[in-house]
């Protein structure tokens, strides 16, 4: 078994937080126009559909919940209650590689029906990037990159963390556009628990 240096949980948390801060700031600076366009896309949508695989999909589910709190009509692709996508809708996707087959197929189908496609990715060019109306590029490692050059974290962890931050940033910007208070949003939280 190879020997590796150990790191305390506290040091690991600091490493993750520092990488996330750096990547999120680089993303916001390099993609300022694209982030504005993505916010406009979501704001103008009849309905918003989110779709990602694995942890990227989980990150987008968090975004879906926040957009629902704003009063947007939001659906997670694959959920049994998700309706069919149509013209006027937006498909928000996240794929580090931009090549995840199921997401590419969904984006192709959405675009063919007149829906707009937003993409959060690490890839400058990919099948998804070619389809997307708006693409936000995150400076993070892809899932299969084990070089530790872009991130010391495992696999695509940094990308997935930035997807969460982008989602929360989009939510916050759209919330400020609405001019509503936290009290206005609160009634949309689940109250059956």
pLDDT in tens, 10-25: 999 999 999 999 999 9
Give yes or no for a contact between 110 and 102, defined as CB atoms under 8 angstroms apart.
no
pLDDT of 47 higher than 90: yes
Residue 19 is among the residues annotated as catalytic for this protein: no
CA within 13 Å, CB half, 152: 13
Give yes or no for a contact between 134 and 118, defined as CB atoms under 8 angstroms apart.
yes
List b or e across 58-77, with b for residues whose CB sees 16 or more CB atoms inside 10 angstroms. ebbeebbbbbbbbebebbbb
pLDDT of 1 higher than 50: no
What are φ and ψ of residue 173, in 5° steps? -65, -45
Q: Does domain 11-179 have CATH number 3.40.50.10490?
A: yes
Of residues 46, 101, 108, 160, which has the active-site annotation?
160
pLDDT in tens, 63-111: 999 999 999 999 999 999 999 999 999 999 999 999 999 999 999 999 9
The structure's pTM equals 0.92
What's the pLDDT score for residue 130? 98
Give residue for tokens 């974290």. 153
User: CA–CA distance from 47 to each of 60, 68, 77, 91, 150 (Å)?
Assistant: 15, 10, 12, 9, 35
């Amino acid at each position: 078994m190879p020997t590796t240096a150990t790191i305390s949980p506290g040091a690991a948390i600091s490493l993750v937080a520092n990488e996330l801060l750096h990547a999120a700031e680089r993303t916001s600076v390099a993609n300022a126009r694209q982030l504005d366009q993505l916010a406009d896309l979501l704001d103008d949508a009849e309905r918003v559909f989110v779709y990602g695989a694995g942890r990227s999909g989980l990150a987008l589910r968090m975004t879906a919940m926040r957009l629902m709190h704003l009063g947007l009509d939001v659906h997670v692709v694959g959920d049994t209650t998700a309706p069919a996508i149509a013209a006027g809708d937006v498909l928000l996707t996240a794929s580090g590689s931009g090549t995840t087959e199921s997401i590419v197929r969904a984006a192709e189908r959405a675009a063919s029906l007149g829906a707009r496609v937003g993409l959060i990715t690490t890839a400058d060019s990919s099948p998804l990037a070619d389809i997307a109306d708006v693409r936000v590029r995150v400076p993070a490692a892809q899932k299969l990159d084990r070089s530790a050059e872009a991130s010391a974290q495992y696999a695509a962890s940094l990308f997935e963390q930035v997807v969460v931050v982008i989602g929360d940033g989009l939510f916050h910007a759209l919330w400020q556009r609405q001019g509503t208070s936290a009290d206005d949003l609160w009634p949309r939280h689940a109250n059956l628990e």
